[in-house]
Every structure is written in structure tokens, then in C-alpha cells.
Amino acid sequence: MIRNSSIRLRRALSLLMLSSLLAGAAPAAYAASEAQTEDVKNLLEQYHLSKPSDEELNDAAIQGMVDSLDDPYTEYFTDDEWKQFQSYLEQTYVGVGIVTVLDEGTLYVQEVVQGSSAAKAGVQPGDAIVAVDGQSVRGKTQYQINQMIAGKDGTSVILTLSRNGKTHAYTLTRSSVQLPAATSRLLNGGIGYLSLSAFTSDAGEKFDAELGKLENKGMRALILDLRDNGGGYVNQAQKIAENFIQDGVLAHMTDRDGKDNPLEVKGVRKPYPVYVLVNENTASASELLSGALQDYGVAKLIGTQTYGKGVVQQFFNVSSGGVLKVTIEEYYTPNGHKVDHTGLRPDIQVQGAPQQLIAAIRAAGGAPAGLTAGKGVVSIDGIRMASKASVVRKNGAVYIDLKLASSFAGAALRYDPATKTIAFALGGKAERIAVSDSRILVQNGSSSIDVRLLAKWDANLSWSDAGGVLKLTNHR
């Protein structure tokens, strides 16, 4: 989580020692003077076998001071590293505009960024990457293939993709791409879904625009997806909170002297219920917002325990070059709950990304109508998310993850270790099956069910399987 600021510091090497003390570092048993530090550096430059340069030793000295704080969030950036970090904060990168997912040894296109070179060329989600610049990707890792696709701004790459049994070659130009911070979709029953992927410098504006679209369509409940959102700018979380908190604080900010500097929020209270999706990668500003909404009773959290980053950083421009990111505060939720190294506990704990979304839809009073699974992705009512090995095809049968299937059907699932049977309860009726039954497939610690048996147990489900994608429809 970041606060924006800029001050002028003096020489990086000598007085960054002072800044480390100001940031709260414990004094060493022996404190070297500035002159001693400079003398040691000169002697190393003059005599050490490796012939270290002045720049290398300065960098090492700075890194040593930062490391001495034992704080993973306090960092020094060179000018080039700072540009890269800014791109990370704003979700911009140079590429062709695709997000990939690896499933069963094949790398698929998970998402295509709107307006990118890939989108303009007609690349589609679900396309399998066969070759890059004519070189086969067979046997390569996801990282290796992504590195083959990566390159400098303005250069081109040829992607050979497989779709429905046919191959297509696309010549794509690498350019600056920005991932959307906020996207939304209105689901059945007037349930709004709004995904916020990062707290970029314009996240509040983007969020308000998407929320307005949903409200204009008559939304009666909101699902806010903060899963895998690693945070960003504090002031953007504050702006977003104004949509839900009428008069209160976003968090209590405690500085190094123990002084509480509460972040005040003066906004409105919405007439509809809110459900926030969180997971182990929900961190920093995402936890700041989630904790406030939970404490004020505005929203229920659904998912898994959050990451637990409850500290705030501030940027300082170093006059001699570079930028220093320094941890300056720890924050607590409005009710005083500690977040750092603890995280937030969901009101409704659910494992599995698709199951979490289904649980939120049901909590909002709805029911999922459609599910597609395959090629590393599960889609619930049009909302796509990475989910590997959710569908397995073996000996002419199609199996779907049992927990996912029961969640979609709205069934209760229970395993009886005494009889080694699985109970599938739905609509007042329970079906039982032995785990040794061929219609149950157990591998890698998870169980899948033959989709034909699933449809037999639940007459309201229909299914089809084509092109490597299984489709389920709930007719309730």
C-alpha cells in the first residue's frame, strides 16, 4: 500500500544511513562515521581482487542499509527500477495483450486485453499456443513460452495458435498494454459483479464508472471481487470506500511513535447488500477496504484468509538518483483489528475460485445458470477465472471436479470414511456412491464425477462437451 510524497534527500551513500535511523532501524553496536565509510569504500575500490566500481559499492551500501531493516516492503529503486515499479502499480507492460494459463501441458490464451494487438488480430480466449516465431513450444514451461513472446516495444512476433483443430498464424506487434483496473457484469436476478484488479492511480474513477453502469441497470446486490488484488494507492481505497461508508474511518494509521492518524471517510450508504470476494492474495489496500466494509457491516467477506499486509509505504525521491520506498505506518481496521501478518477472516469461508463466486451469487439471493470448464478456465455465468484440471476426459467419459459440480448444483457433499462413500444431497434426496466406483475418478488428491451420473442425480442439469470445453446448464 502506497502513499504519494516527494522530498529532497542529500547524498545517497552518506546520508541514507541517517534515513535508515529515521525509519526506525535499531542502532548498531558499532556506528561507523561517514569518513570511515568513505575510507573503506575507497580501499575496496583500490585493492579488492574483483575491482569493484564506485557505483557498485554505493549500490551495495544502500542495499545493505535497506536489508538491515528486515522489512520486505522498504526498497530502494534505481531510476530504471522505479519506472518498472510504476508500470507494475499501473498494470502496464509491453506485450501483445494476452494472459495465458497452463493446463495439462498446453498453454492457452486465458484472456485477451481489449484494444491490444492480439485483440485487433482476432486472437480468442481458449486458443492454444503451438509455436512462437516458428519454434514449437512443446515441452516448454509457461514462463519459457511467455519469455519467447515477450520483447521490446514496436517489435513483432508470430504466434501460431490452434483453434477447433485448425492452426492460425498471427503477426502481432508488441506495444504498451494496460490491464483494466475495473470490469463489471450484470448477472441473472439483478446481481452485479465488479472486479477490481489493482488500486491504480485512477482506480477510484474506474470503479465509480463501472458501479454506475450496474446501478443504471437496476442492480439489487453487488459482488465485489478483490481476489488476487495486491493493493496500490491508499487514497484510491479511500475514494472507493466513499461509495459505501457514510461517516467513519477507513482505517487507523499508527506511526512509529504510536500516534493514531485515522483515515476519515465521508460518503454514502448504498441500499443494496455487498459481498466481497477475497483470497490469500488479497493484500494491502484490498485488505484496508475489505476490513472497513466488514467492520461497518456494509459487506460480508467470502473466500479464504487474506494475505496480511497491514503496513503503509511512502515514496521519497533521492536527489542524487533513485527512489526510496519506506514503511511509515501500520494500519488497523475501524474496530481495531490487526491486519499485518494476520489477514482478514472471511464471514463465509470457501475454497476454490469458481466455488467462491458461486457462494457469493447464492448469498446474494441468486443461483448460477451456466458453467463452462476446460482449457485451464472455468466460467460462471460469463465470468472467467483460471482453474486447472477441472475437467478430465478418460476412457470415453467426461469427469468434472466433484466439489465444483456440487457447488454449481447447490448440493451438499459429504465423505464417509467408514464406508468410503460420497453422499450427494440435493432437494431432500441423498445419493451415495463408493469412491471405488468407476464413475468417480480420484487423482492428485481430488475427486471428479462422471458428468452423466451428475445429470442423472440432478434432473435440472443438462450438459454438452465439444471442442475441449464442458458446458453445464442449470434449468432451475
DSSP letter (8 states) at residue 307: -
Mean of pLDDT values over 144-156: 96
At 340-361, the pLDDT tens digits run 999 999 999 999 999 999 999 9
Which residue matches cell numbers 558499532?
30
Return the pLDDT at 13: 29
Q: Is the pTM of this model over 0.85?
A: yes
Matching CATH topology for 94-178 and 182-354?
Answer: no
Mean of pLDDT values over 317-338: 93
C-alpha cell at 102: 497452463
Q: How far apart are CA 409 and CA 373, in angstroms?
A: 15
Residue 449, pLDDT > 50, answer yes
Q: How far apart are CA 269 and CA 247, in angstroms?
A: 9
Helix (H, G, I), strand (E, B) or coil at 235: helix
Return the pLDDT at 2: 67
Which amino acid is residue 403, in one-letter code? Answer: K
Q: Where are the domains of the chain?
A: 2-78, 94-178, 182-354, 368-474
Q: Could you tell me how many residues make up the chain?
A: 476
Q: How far apart are CA 329 and CA 345, in angstroms?
A: 22
Longest CA span, the chain: 83
Q: How far apart are CA 46 and CA 365, in angstroms?
A: 73
Residue 15, pLDDT > 50, answer no
Residues 194, 221: contact at Cβ < 8 Å?
no
Residue 28, pLDDT > 90, answer no
Quote the percentage of the chain above a pLDDT of 90.
82
Quote the percentage of the chain above a pLDDT of 70.
93
Which string of b and e fits 32-43 if b means at least 16 CB within 10 Å? eeeeeeeeebee
Comparison of pLDDT for 11 and 270, the residue scoring more: 270
Mean of pLDDT values over 107-117: 95
- CATH class of the domain at 182-354: alpha beta
At 373-411, the pLDDT tens digits run 999 999 999 999 999 889 999 999 999 999 999 999 999
Q: How far apart are CA 401 and CA 133, in angstroms?
A: 36
Fold of 94-178: Pdz3 Domain (2.30.42)
At 271-301, the pLDDT tens digits run 999 999 999 999 999 999 999 999 999 999 9
Q: How far apart are CA 236 and CA 240, in angstroms?
A: 6
Q: How many CA within 13 A on the CB side of residue 341?
A: 3
- 383-386 and 299-303 beta bridge pairing: unpaired
Per DSSP, the chain holds a count of helices (H) and strands (E) of 12, 32
At 35-57, the pLDDT tens digits run 888 888 888 889 888 898 988 88
**CA nearest 89: which of 14, 2, 160, 206?**
2
Indicate the pLDDT class of residue 4, thresholds 50, 70 and 90: low
Residue 6, pLDDT > 60, answer no
